[in-house]
């Protein structure tokens, strides 16, 4: 076991020799005044009693042991009930942030003079985790709080949770009481109150002394001393050294020296009365005897003598006993390599000083350990022998023995190594192995635009796709690509002088949902609005993108577009959506810009379609016949322009409107054999028509025009004079059927055509 670093400063006089696993912490009879402390209801003290060390966890564990208490009320102004308990405080912080406190259970009820409580209790954490049991040198104070009706007695909110009780302080103070506290280590039994409660009161100053002032040489003489204030007389005999100690009313011993001082004392260490001196003349009635030579040994574990040095012995570091120091009833701590000399002191004229004991204190012989760190495997490079112990505390608490294998290290937790003591040698000096903390954990972030780490991954870092860092890859000094929806783990690598860092978990978000758009063939736009969070491009690589405006987007037939949700500082761009934009249908015909008869045409939709019919073709001045497949026949109605167009959404799955095919239909007339002449034209549309029939007068027709519309019987259903080149005829009341339009212009030219009312 490692040497104890603390020296016992205070010992209570008169304390009997108790087992080392328990010690008397406090024994005092005193008067407690209400104004002894700012809080009033607390009584404190500051010495550590007979504590063997300031580490109360090793070699004996008092932290988890029991504390035995004896509270006796000697005087109280009333018989009002109250309770006491015991606390230890280790910080004076009044704001509560670092205040450390450990307390025992409360006593049974005490009420008035003569009441007492005798019990045991653990001392448990009460504030900020409790005190540091490994180092009681950090102590602020010990004390006993007084409890009334379940509340600490105190004169203000800081001192109690019920300051109103303080108004009744006169019921309790001044309070005369005896307090005894004994600490017993965990796993050990209390030796018993008979070792501590021997009665305790400070004797009064001796009064009159009676007896033979000139005793006969060698005679047994008795002296009587009366206490003050009429106290009972006691009989005392002068022992050797003239200091009297009595537990009975009369003791007789043989006179052994010429003069001395008489004290009234008690065995329980409560103190002595004021001294009275008595000088006598007496011969020496004994044969001087040399006292036995002391026999001190070495406790190599604690680096001290194997037993306490009483006041009757003295010691020196010189063989001639120069500068000798009397024992104090405590162990003497030894310095390896420095011998000590002991002897028992002379006692009067009858007992001579003993011979000198030379206690040879060997120097430390063990070599101080010198372990080093294996940063990669996080252990010592060297095996730690079974002769070596180590601890995480500079106070050597909870030591662990080596096993002959390397010791696992915790980054940031220093270790202290020493070669253990033996039955005949001290422990070595201690090696303080400074164990550095781990380096800072990497903190890589995401560049959502480049879809990589925002910064380069240096070569002293590594990364993996699992938290165990198996198959880790070292950085190259460049950024690394990231996969949306995955997780990467980063850490700094271990080196010959640095531990591996903690692992950074970089959660890489998934991409946002891919947008999806459709075509409105009628308006030649997207069917949906394109928000500003979406960008589009004519290139699959999204080069030179444009940004949505919140409205539908105009489309160019035959030009595909690519869409994606834009990246942001906190999210990736989505995957790319391809909007296939079909070409316009193409109308193929052998007709030229002028025809004199009906003609055929084929429609190319550039894809497989269904649902094609004649009414999918829009014409003017003509009729349409579906001749099968995607083929049609156009029959002009009258001389003039004829237009043909495939309407939008004519087929499934949809299509744009085609370009308009336009030709001029002319009727052949003659003014002589083989001679043709053109005439003016009347453009009539639509055909078939429903309610309204539109007429456009073109070429060289001279207004006004006399127009008649004849039914199949030749009767005129409409007769109008047209004075404008464009007219609209209301035909709602005209029955469905085939009609002949005949028009004569101002020059007498005649024009005719057929129309159909549906």
* Partners of 30 in beta bridges: 177
C-alpha 375/C-alpha 406 separation (Å) is 12
C-alpha 626/C-alpha 634 separation (Å) is 9
C-alpha 482/C-alpha 576 separation (Å) is 18
Here the tokens at position 630 are 């995607």
Last residue in a domain, options 195, 216, 245:
195
Q: Is residue 110 part of a domain?
A: yes
C-alpha 596/C-alpha 676 separation (Å) is 12
Helix (H, G, I), strand (E, B) or coil at 371: coil
Q: What are phi and psi of 624, to 5 degrees?
A: -120, 135
C-alpha 32/C-alpha 45 separation (Å) is 12
Strand pairing report for 388-391 and 415-419 = antiparallel
Sign, CA dihedral 400-406-407-408, equals negative
Residue given tokens 């390397």 in the structure block? 406
Among 338, 185, 204, smallest CA distance to 270 is for: 204
Q: Is residue 326 part of a domain?
A: no
DSSP per position, 230-285: TPPEEEE---TTS----SSSB---B--SSEEEE----TTS---PPPEEEE------
C-alpha 541/C-alpha 430 separation (Å) is 68
Residue 211: predicted pLDDT: 54
C-alpha 673/C-alpha 259 separation (Å) is 184
Q: Clarify whether residues 593 and 702 are in a common domain.
A: no
Residue 210: predicted pLDDT: 53
C-alpha 315/C-alpha 264 separation (Å) is 30
Last residue in a domain, options 637, 665, 693:
665
Strand pairing report for 175-184 and 66-75 = antiparallel
Q: Is residue 699 part of a domain?
A: yes
Q: Clarify whether residues 30 and 134 are in a common domain.
A: yes
Q: Is residue 692 part of a domain?
A: yes
Helix (H, G, I), strand (E, B) or coil at 164: helix
C-alpha 382/C-alpha 605 separation (Å) is 84
DSSP per position, 635-693: EE-BSEEEEEEEPTT-SBS--PPPPPEEEEE----EEETTEE----EEEEE-SSBSSEE
475-506: b or e for each residue (b if 16 or more CB lie within 10 Å)? beeebeebebeeebbbbbbbeeebbbbebbeb
> Quick check: 337 and 363 in contact, CB under 8 A?
yes
Q: Clarify whether residues 99 and 181 are in a common domain.
A: yes
- Whether omega before 174 lies within 30 degrees of 0, making that bond cis, reads yes
C-alpha 115/C-alpha 84 separation (Å) is 12
Specify the number of domains making up the chain: 3
- The boundaries of the domain holding residue 69 are 22-195
> Quick check: 469 and 496 in contact, CB under 8 A?
no
Residue 26: predicted pLDDT: 95
Calculated CA dihedral for residues 13, 15, 17, 19, nearest 10 degrees:
-130
Q: Clarify whether residues 718 and 660 are in a common domain.
A: no
C-alpha 95/C-alpha 92 separation (Å) is 9
Q: Clarify whether residues 66 and 162 are in a common domain.
A: yes
Rounded to 5, what percent of the chain is helix, strand, coil?
Answer: 0, 35, 60
Last residue in a domain, options 195, 210, 245:
195
308-325: b or e for each residue (b if 16 or more CB lie within 10 Å)? bbeebbbbbeeeebeebe
Among 376, 446, 439, smallest CA distance to 409 is for: 376
Among 7, 309, 327, smallest CA distance to 137 is for: 7
Among 98, 102, 99, smallest CA distance to 87 is for: 102
Q: Give a three-class secondary structure readout of 478-521.
A: ECCECCCCCEEEEEECCECCECCCCCEEEECCCCCCCCCCCEEC
Strand pairing report for 124-127 and 101-103 = antiparallel
- Whether omega before 686 lies within 30 degrees of 0, making that bond cis, reads yes
Residue 162 per-residue DSSP state: -
Q: Clarify whether residues 733 and 617 are in a common domain.
A: no
Q: Clarify whether residues 647 and 703 are in a common domain.
A: no
Q: Clarify whether residues 691 and 647 are in a common domain.
A: no
CA separation (Å) from 724 to 51, 81, 626, 710, 732? 128, 124, 35, 21, 22
Residue 73: predicted pLDDT: 94
> Quick check: 509 and 484 in contact, CB under 8 A?
yes
Residue given tokens 């070699």 in the structure block? 59
C-alpha 292/C-alpha 347 separation (Å) is 12
Calculated CA dihedral for residues 263, 269, 270, 271, nearest 10 degrees:
30
C-alpha 681/C-alpha 708 separation (Å) is 15
End-to-end, the C-alpha distance of the chain in Å comes to 117
Residue 100: predicted pLDDT: 86
Q: Is residue 748 part of a domain?
A: yes
Residue 13: predicted pLDDT: 34
Residue given tokens 């409560």 in the structure block? 270
Q: Is residue 418 part of a domain?
A: no
CB atoms within 10 A of CB 329: 18
Q: Clarify whether residues 653 and 711 are in a common domain.
A: no
- Whether omega before 242 lies within 30 degrees of 0, making that bond cis, reads no
Residue 442 per-residue DSSP state: P
Among 300, 2, 280, 313, smallest CA distance to 134 is for: 2
CATH number for position 701: 2.60.40.3080
Helix (H, G, I), strand (E, B) or coil at 525: strand
Residue 207: predicted pLDDT: 47
Half-sphere exposure of 500 (CA within 13 A, CB side): 16
Residue 20: predicted pLDDT: 62
Which regions in the chain score pLDDT beneath 70? 1-20, 92-97, 157-158, 198-287, 349, 668-681, 698-699
Q: Is residue 643 part of a domain?
A: yes
Residue given tokens 């180092």 in the structure block? 135
CB atoms within 10 A of CB 629: 9
Q: Clarify whether residues 716 and 606 are in a common domain.
A: no
Residue 340: predicted pLDDT: 97
> Quick check: 108 and 116 in contact, CB under 8 A?
no
> Quick check: 565 and 444 in contact, CB under 8 A?
no
C-alpha 44/C-alpha 166 separation (Å) is 18
C-alpha 685/C-alpha 660 separation (Å) is 15
Q: Clarify whether residues 187 and 44 are in a common domain.
A: yes
Residue 90: predicted pLDDT: 85
Residue 122: predicted pLDDT: 93
Q: Is residue 160 part of a domain?
A: yes
CATH number for position 644: 2.60.40
Q: What is the largest CA-CA distance in the chain?
A: 196
Q: Clarify whether residues 94 and 144 are in a common domain.
A: yes
């Amino acid at each position: 076991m490692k040497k104890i670093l603390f020296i016992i400063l205070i010992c209570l006089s008169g304390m009997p020799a108790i087992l080392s696993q328990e010690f008397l912490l406090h024994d005092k009879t005193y008067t407690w005044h209400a104004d002894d402390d700012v809080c009033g209801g607390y009584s404190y003290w500051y010495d550590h009693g007979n504590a063997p060390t300031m580490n109360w966890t090793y070699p004996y564990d008092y932290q988890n042991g029991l504390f035995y208490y004896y509270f006796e009320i000697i005087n109280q102004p009333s018989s009002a009930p109250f309770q006491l308990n015991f606390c230890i405080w280790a910080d004076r912080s009044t704001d509560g942030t670092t205040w450390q406190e450990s307390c025992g259970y409360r006593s049974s009820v005490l009420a008035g003079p003569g009441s007492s409580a005798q019990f045991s209790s653990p001392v448990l954490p009460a504030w900020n985790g409790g005190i540091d049991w490994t180092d009681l040198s950090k102590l602020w104070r010990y004390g006993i709080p007084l409890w009334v009706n379940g509340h600490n007695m105190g004169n203000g909110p800081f001192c109690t949770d019920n300051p109103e009780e303080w108004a009744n302080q006169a019921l309790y103070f001044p309070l005369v009481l005896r307090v005894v506290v004994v600490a017993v280590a965990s796993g050990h039994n209390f030796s018993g109150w008979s070792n501590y409660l021997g009665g305790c009161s400070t004797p009064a100053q001796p009064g009159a002394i009676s007896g033979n002032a000139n005793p006969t040489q060698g005679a047994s003489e008795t002296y009587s001393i009366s206490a003050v204030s009429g106290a009972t007389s006691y009989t005392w005999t002068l022992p050797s050294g003239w200091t009297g100690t009595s537990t009975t009313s009369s003791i007789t011993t043989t006179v052994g020296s010429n003069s001395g001082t008489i004290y009234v004392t008690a065995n329980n260490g409560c103190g002595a009365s004021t001294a009275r001196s008595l000088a006598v003349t007496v011969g020496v009635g004994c044969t001087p005897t040399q006292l036995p030579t002391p026999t001190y040994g070495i406790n190599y574990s604690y680096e001290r003598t194997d037993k306490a040095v009483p006041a009757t012995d003295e010691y020196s570091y010189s063989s001639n006993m120069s500068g000798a120091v009397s024992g104090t009833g405590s162990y003497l701590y030894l310095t390896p390599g420095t011998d000590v000399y002991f002897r028992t002191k002379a006692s009067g004229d009858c007992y001579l000083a003993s011979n000198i004991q030379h206690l040879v204190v060997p120097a430390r012989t063990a070599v101080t350990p010198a372990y080093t760190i294996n940063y990669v495997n996080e252990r010592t490079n060297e095996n730690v022998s079974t002769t070596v112990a180590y601890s995480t505390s500079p106070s050597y608490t909870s030591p662990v023995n080596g096993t002959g294998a390397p010791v696992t290290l915790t980054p940031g937790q220093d270790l202290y190594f020493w070669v253990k003591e033996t039955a005949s040698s001290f422990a070595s000096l201690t090696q303080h192995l400074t164990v550095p903390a781990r380096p800072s954990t990497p903190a890589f972030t995401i560049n959502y635009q480049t879809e990589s780490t925002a910064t380069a991954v240096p070569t002293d870092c590594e990364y993996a796709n699992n938290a165990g860092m198996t198959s880790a890859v070292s950085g190259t000094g460049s950024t690394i690509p990231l996969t949306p929806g995955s997780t990467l783990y980063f850490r700094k690598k271990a080196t010959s002088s640095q531990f591996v860092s903690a692992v950074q978990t970089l959660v890489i978000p998934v991409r946002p949902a891919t947008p999806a758009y459709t075509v409105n063939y009628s308006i030649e736009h997207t069917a949906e609005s394109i928000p500003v969070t979406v960008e589009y491009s004519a290139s699959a690589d999204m080069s030179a993108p444009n940004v949505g405006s919140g409205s539908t987007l105009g489309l160019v037939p035959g030009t595909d577009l690519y869409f994606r949700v834009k990246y942001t500082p906190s999210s990736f761009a989505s995957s790319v959506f391809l909007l296939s934009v079909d070409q316009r249908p193409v109308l193929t015909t052998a007709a030229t810009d002028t025809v004199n008869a009906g003609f055929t045409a084929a429609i190319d939709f550039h894809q497989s379609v269904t649902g094609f019919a004649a009414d999918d073709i829009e014409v003017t001045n003509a009729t349409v016949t579906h001749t099968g497949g995607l083929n049609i026949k156009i029959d002009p109605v009258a001389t003039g322009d004829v237009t043909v167009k495939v309407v939008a959404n004519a087929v499934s799955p949809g299509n744009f409107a085609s370009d308009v095919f336009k030709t001029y239909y002319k009727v052949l007339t003659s003014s002589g054999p083989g001679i043709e002449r053109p005439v003016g034209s009347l453009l009539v549309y639509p055909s078939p028509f429903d309610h309204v029939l539109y007429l456009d007068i073109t070429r060289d027709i001279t207004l006004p025009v006399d127009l008649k519309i004849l039914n199949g019987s030749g009767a005129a259903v409409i007769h109008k004079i047209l004075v404008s080149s464009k007219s609209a005829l209301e035909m709602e009341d005209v029955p469905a059927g085939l009609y002949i339009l005949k028009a004569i212009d101002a020059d007498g030219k005649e024009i005719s055509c057929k129309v159909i009312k549906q």
